[in-house]
């Protein structure tokens, strides 16, 4: 880590915001051809990362096979739409995994976090706003708020936003994401979403450690 007199914190916040948004798209968007091309372009500069390299290889194969994209769309529906019990894992909503129901107390608690950060519904098309993709988008928006705080030399606001990130991760995402990702890994019939699940879980576990490190560094400064 570097000190507060350079652009380190701003750059870290921007990078983390982009990473959360990148992950969210896999859970919110059907994997049609245009989406696959977009992801391929985003990954070209990151193939040195082992997990991203594996994902890039999957994407390249998809682009060469339209039938494979059709199969992936079907897999997306099976894994994330919760069409019927036994057909795929439970739909990706926090309240479903924590309370075995939609629109539970978890949903209300998540919305309070959004409102405290200045947001309302973040992605209405996702349905209940405790959808995994929406929660990841929220973290992206918090990181972007942190980025703007550093850009405006407002370290107090940046630290406040970091605390909001830590709270949401510990109180919400990490209370159900490990189970959700493990279900994806176990029930994915195609390698693509198994890779996404592993990438998501690894990224958020690293985030918890990184936020603790950032907080320590900033308080020391």
**Under a CB-based contact definition with an 8 Å cutoff, are residues 49 and 29 in contact?**
no
Q: Torsions phi, psi of 84, nearest 5?
A: -160, 155
Tokens for 167, please give them: 């709270």
Helix/strand/coil for 1: coil
Mean pLDDT of 193-217: 92
Q: What is the pLDDT of residue 56?
A: 82
Q: Is 13 within the bounds of a domain?
A: yes
Q: Is 145 within the bounds of a domain?
A: yes
Mean pLDDT of 178-192: 94
The count of structural domains within the chain is 1
Q: Is 64 within the bounds of a domain?
A: no
Helix/strand/coil for 147: helix
- What is the sign, positive or negative, of the torsion defined by CA atoms of 183, 185, 188, 194? positive
**Under a CB-based contact definition with an 8 Å cutoff, are residues 27 and 132 in contact?**
yes
DSSP state, residue 37: H
- The average confidence (pLDDT) of the chain is 90
Of all residues in the chain, what percent carry a pLDDT higher than 70? 94
Q: Is 119 within the bounds of a domain?
A: yes
Mean pLDDT of 179-183: 96
Mean pLDDT of 174-184: 97
pLDDT per residue as tens digits for the range 93-104: 999 999 999 999
Q: What is the pLDDT of residue 1?
A: 45
pLDDT per residue as tens digits for the range 92-133: 999 999 999 999 999 999 999 999 999 999 999 999 999 999
Domain that holds residue 23: 8-30+93-220
For residue 197, give the H/E element and its range.
Answer: helix 191-220
Query: Which is more confidently placed, 45 or 164?
Result: 164
pLDDT per residue as tens digits for the range 44-76: 766 556 667 778 888 888 877 888 889 999 999
Q: Is 211 within the bounds of a domain?
A: yes
Tokens for 93, please give them: 């909503």
- Model confidence at 2, pLDDT cuts 50, 70, 90, reads very low
Q: Is 56 within the bounds of a domain?
A: no
- Number of Cβ within a 10 Å radius of residue 7: 11
Mean pLDDT of 124-153: 97
Question: Ranked by mean pLDDT, which of 57-71, 132-146, 190-204 comes out on top?
Answer: 132-146
Q: Is 68 within the bounds of a domain?
A: no
Spatial distance between the Cα atoms of 122 and 136, rounded to a whole number of angstroms: 10
- Model confidence at 7, pLDDT cuts 50, 70, 90, reads confident
| pTM confidence score | 0.92
Spatial distance between the Cα atoms of 146 and 139, rounded to a whole number of angstroms: 11
The CATH number of residue 137's host domain is 1.10.3480.10
Range in 17-26, 84-93, 108-117, 201-210 the model is least confident about: 84-93
Q: Is 185 within the bounds of a domain?
A: yes
């Amino acid at each position: 880590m570097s000190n507060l007199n350079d652009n380190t914190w701003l750059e870290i916040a921007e990078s983390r915001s982009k990473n959360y948004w990148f992950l969210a798209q896999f859970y919110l968007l059907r994997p049609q051809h245009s989406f696959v091309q977009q992801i391929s372009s985003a990954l070209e500069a990151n193939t040195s990362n082992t997990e991203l390299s594996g994902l890039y290889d999957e994407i390249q194969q998809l682009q060469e096979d339209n039938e494979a994209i059709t199969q992936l769309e079907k897999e997306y529906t099976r894994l994330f739409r919760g069409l019927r019990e036994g057909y795929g894992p439970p739909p990706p909503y926090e309240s479903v995994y924590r309370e075995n129901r939609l629109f539970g107390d978890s949903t209300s608690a998540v919305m309070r976090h959004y409102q405290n950060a200045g947001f309302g519904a973040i992605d209405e098309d996702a349905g209940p706003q405790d959808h995994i993709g929406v929660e990841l988008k929220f973290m992206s928006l918090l990181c972007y708020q942190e980025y703007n705080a550093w850009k405006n030399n407002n370290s107090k606001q940046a630290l406040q936003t970091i605390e909001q990130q830590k709270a949401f991760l510990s109180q919400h995402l990490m209370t159900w994401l490990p189970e959700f990702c493990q279900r994806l890994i176990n029930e994915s019939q195609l390698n693509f979403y198994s890779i996404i699940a592993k990438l998501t879980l690894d990224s958020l576990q690293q985030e918890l450690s990184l936020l603790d490190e950032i907080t320590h560094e900033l308080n020391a400064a």
